Amino acid sequence: MKEIELNLTKSSLNGHLEVPGDKSISHRSIMFGALADGKTTVRHFLKGEDCLRTIDCFRKLGVKIEETDDEIIVHGNGWEGLKEPADILDAGNSGTTTRLLLGILAGRSFHSVLIGDESIAKRPMDRVVIPLAEMGARINGRSGGRFTPLAIDGTQLKAMRYELPVASAQVKSAILFAGLQAEGETVIIEPQPTRDHTEKMIKQFGGEITRRGNDIIVKGGQSFKGTDVYVPGDISSAAFFLAAGAIATDSEVILENVGLNPTRTGIIDVLTQMGANIEVQAEDAAGEEIGKITIRSSELKGIEIGGELIPRLIDEIPVIALLATQAEGKTVIKDAEELKVKETNRIDTVVDELKKLGAEIEATEDGMIVYGKSRLSGGRVSSHGDHRIGMMLAVASIVAEGTIQLENPEVIAISYPEFFEDMNRLTQK
Ligand code: S3P
C-alpha cells in the first residue's frame, strides 16, 4: 500500500475499543522471558513489526519462542541459554530492540552484530554505547559506535554509577540489563523519571531492584524465573482514539484495559488541562496499572507543556500537536528536544505535515508552538515512514475539510496493525 485516501470529515466516533498491547511492555516480556529459567506465557502481546523483530532476534540467539493466536510462549534457559547467533540480528525500525539488546549482548560471552533499517541507522546509539563501554563493553560501529551496524564482542562487565545525561528509558534499561550481569552494584540516576517497565519486570520475574532517593540500584549476577505476563493496552496507541474522540462531534469512545502506569499517563493530564471531557476508572491489577478511559467530544483550550511531563508523553506529542490545532488559543510544547531523535525528527515531520493541512504551527529549538483553533484542509501528506506521524494524520482527517491522501500508511503496523479496522469500526458519518 503506497497511499491511502482518508475521508473521515465530520465523522463521529462511538463505541468500545481495546487497543493492542503495550509496545514497551511487549518487548520486555520477550527479553525477560528469554533470560529467565522456564516457561513464560505472554497474553495480549503486541504483534506489531517492532515486537516481532524482538522475537526474531531472540530466536536467532537460540531461544525457543512459540506463537499462537492469543499467546506467546517463551522457553527461557537463563542468561547462558543465549547462544552466539550465526546470523546478523536485525532490529528493523525498533529503537527499543536495538538499545536494550545492546545492554544484554554486551555482557554475553560471544560475538554478535546488530543492524536496523534506514531510520535506525540515523538514530544515536552512542547514548548506550558510551555508558556500556564504561562498564567494560566492547562495541564497535560507524562513527566510533554512534550508529548501526554495531558489532558486540561480549565480555564480563563491571558495575558503575551513572547519571543519565538524557531522560531515556531505553538507555536506563540497557544499563540495567548490563548491570544485571555485571560484577557489583550498578546505580543509575535519571534527570527525570521515565517509564519504569523494566524495573517492574525485574521484580515480576523474581529479580531484585531497589530505589534509594533518586538512585536506582541493581546487583549483578541475578537470575530470573519464567512467569505469566498480561500486557495492558498501549496508552500510546489509545492516545490516537482519545484525540479522535475529543475532536470529533457527537462522540463517546470507551477504551478498555488501557495501561495506566503513571510514567506513561501524561496524555491524560494534557487532555484534562485542555478541558477535555475525559473520565478515567482505574481497575485492580497486579503489576502494571490498568483501567478504562472514556472520552467524549470536547471544547479544548491551548496549554503549555514542558518539564517533567515530557517523558510521560514523549510519544504522544505528534497527536497532541493535532489536538492543539483544534484548541482555542496558543499551545507551547517545550523541553522536547528528544523528538529530534525518534523514528523521524518529529519536530520537523509534525510541523511540516500539519502545515500542509493549513495548521498554524511553528517549530522551535525544543518543541513547537501551535495556534488554534484552525480549520484544516485536505491534502497530500506523508507518514515519513513514522508510525505515529501516520496515525496522527489519519486522525486529522476527521476535522479536515476534504480528503487526505496519506503516503506510506503501512508503517502504522509497527505499533498498531489493526488501526484502520478499529477506526472504521468506530466512525460513522
Ligand atoms: C521506549 C522509551 C522511549 C519511547 C519509545 C519506547 C521504551 O524512548 O519514546 O517509544 O520502550 O523504553 P527513549 O528511551 O529514547 O526516550
pLDDT for 316-357, tens place per residue? 999 999 999 999 999 999 999 999 999 999 999 999 999 999
Closest CA to 197 of 219, 170, 178: 170
DSSP for 199-220 reads HHHHHHTT---EEETTEEEEES
pLDDT, tens only, 144-178: 999 999 999 999 999 999 999 999 999 999 999 99
In a domain, 83, yes or no: yes
Whether the ω angle into residue 373 lies within 30 degrees of 0, i.e. cis, is yes
264 lines ligand 1 (CB under 6 A): no
pLDDT, tens only, 60-112: 999 999 999 999 999 999 999 999 999 999 999 999 999 999 999 999 999 99
315 lines ligand 1 (CB under 6 A): yes
Q: Give how many domains the chain has, as a whole number.
A: 2
195 lines ligand 1 (CB under 6 A): yes
The answer on 145 and 44 residing in a single domain is: yes
- Is residue 196 part of the annotated active site? The answer reads no
% residues pLDDT > 70 (the chain): 100
The answer on 209 and 322 residing in a single domain is: no
Cβ atoms of 29 and 45 within 8 Å: the answer is yes
Atom of ligand 1 lying closest to residue 311 CA: 16
173 lines ligand 1 (CB under 6 A): yes
**Residue 28 assigned ligand-binding role:** yes
For residues 243-260, average pLDDT: 98
In a domain, 246, yes or no: yes
- Among left, alpha and beta (phi > 0; psi -120 to 50; other), residue 364 is beta
The answer on 270 and 150 residing in a single domain is: no
Q: For residue 403, give its domain range.
A: 3-21+233-428
The answer on 7 and 141 residing in a single domain is: no
Atom of ligand 1 lying closest to residue 172 CA: 14
In a domain, 33, yes or no: yes
Output the CA torsion sign for 333, 334, 340, 342.
Answer: negative
Cβ atoms of 11 and 395 within 8 Å: the answer is no
Look at residue 370 and tell me whether its pLDDT is greater than 80: yes
In a domain, 226, yes or no: no
For residues 230-242, average pLDDT: 98
C-alpha cell at 151: 558489532
The answer on 185 and 254 residing in a single domain is: no
The answer on 273 and 237 residing in a single domain is: yes
- Please state, in angstroms and rounded to a whole number, the distance separating the CA atoms of residues 415 and 162: 31
**Residue 161 assigned ligand-binding role:** no
C-alpha cell at 187: 546505580
For residues 293-302, average pLDDT: 98
**Residue 95 assigned ligand-binding role:** yes
Question: Which of 187, 218, 249 is the endpoint of a domain?
Answer: 218
In a domain, 78, yes or no: yes
Take atom 9 of ligand 1 and give the residue whose Cα is closest: 315
The answer on 203 and 276 residing in a single domain is: no
Take atom 15 of ligand 1 and give the residue whose Cα is closest: 168
DSSP for 244-283 reads HHHHSSS-EEEEEEEE--TTTTHHHHHHHHTT-EEEEEEE
96 lines ligand 1 (CB under 6 A): yes
Look at residue 181 and tell me whether its pLDDT is greater than 70: yes
The answer on 150 and 128 residing in a single domain is: yes
120: domain CATH number?
3.65.10.10
The answer on 130 and 48 residing in a single domain is: yes
Question: Which of 218, 250, 283 is the endpoint of a domain?
Answer: 218
- Please state, in angstroms and rounded to a whole number, the distance separating the CA atoms of residues 335 and 352: 20
Ligand 1 centroid–CA 376 distance in Å is 30
In a domain, 225, yes or no: no
Residue 410 neighbours by CB under 8 Å, 6+ apart: 1
Look at residue 267 and tell me whether its pLDDT is greater than 90: yes
237 lines ligand 1 (CB under 6 A): no
Ligand 1 centroid–CA 168 distance in Å is 6
pLDDT, tens only, 302-318: 999 999 999 999 999 99
pLDDT of res. 285: 87
- Please state, in angstroms and rounded to a whole number, the distance separating the CA atoms of residues 241 and 244: 5
**Residue 315 assigned ligand-binding role:** yes
- Please state, in angstroms and rounded to a whole number, the distance separating the CA atoms of residues 414 and 135: 32
In a domain, 223, yes or no: no
The answer on 302 and 201 residing in a single domain is: no
- Please pick, among 315, 335, 352, 422, the residue that the annotation labels catalytic: 315
Atom of ligand 1 lying closest to residue 198 CA: 12
The answer on 417 and 356 residing in a single domain is: yes
In this prediction the pTM is: 0.98
Atom of ligand 1 lying closest to residue 168 CA: 14
- Please state, in angstroms and rounded to a whole number, the distance separating the CA atoms of residues 276 and 300: 6
pLDDT of res. 387: 98
168 lines ligand 1 (CB under 6 A): yes
Question: Which of 218, 241, 273 is the endpoint of a domain?
Answer: 218
The answer on 17 and 111 residing in a single domain is: no
Query: Angle of helix 169-181 relative to helix 95-105, nearest 10 degrees?
Result: 20
In a domain, 372, yes or no: yes
